[in-house]
Amino acid sequence: MPIASLRRALAAAAALAFLAPVAARAQGAGCDGQPTAVKIIVKVENVHASEGLMAATFYNDASKFLQKGGSIRVLREPAHAPGQSICFWAPAPGDYAVVIYQDVDSNHKFAFNLFTGPKEPWGLTHNPPNLSLLHRPTFNEVKFAAHPGENVVSVSLNYPK
């Protein structure tokens, strides 16, 4: 294969790899994943700055809540002040919980200090007021029922003290 053809083929493959997530979102009308009967839209409120990434972590199992590898999906999008919506096609109706944090430094890690708590903006469904090593909300405290159709929940970000 001539060099020019190889370059064109590599450029086309790179374009497809870049556009595949965009196409999946377009097919799902702005929602992540393949369309299902259950659409969850999280309205993230109280975003002070358009910096870094907004990370949304979805759980549907109380025994795996806030456990490493326990989520069913993690989505990351550029953060937008004063708020934004994050959409996800859920696998089925049922109970879900959503944890949001603004990954200000875009390192894909939630900055947390063992003594003082979160170092980045955060929020959970039902907006519990504290998050610390001594108080971690349970799945039952933050779960919501997702039914067939569109389910909209709001999460207001809390800021480190």
Q: What percent of the chain has pLDDT over 90?
A: 60
pLDDT at 131: 63
Confidence at 113, pLDDT banded by 50, 70, 90 = confident
Domain range annotation of the chain: 1-29, 31-156
pTM for the model stands at 0.78
- Which top CATH class is 31-156? mainly beta
Q: How far apart are CA 102 and CA 56, in angstroms?
A: 9
160's CB contacts (< 8 A; 6+ apart) are: 116, 117, 118, 119, 120, 121
* pLDDT value of position 160: 84
Q: How many CA atoms lie within 13 A of 7 on its CB side?
A: 3
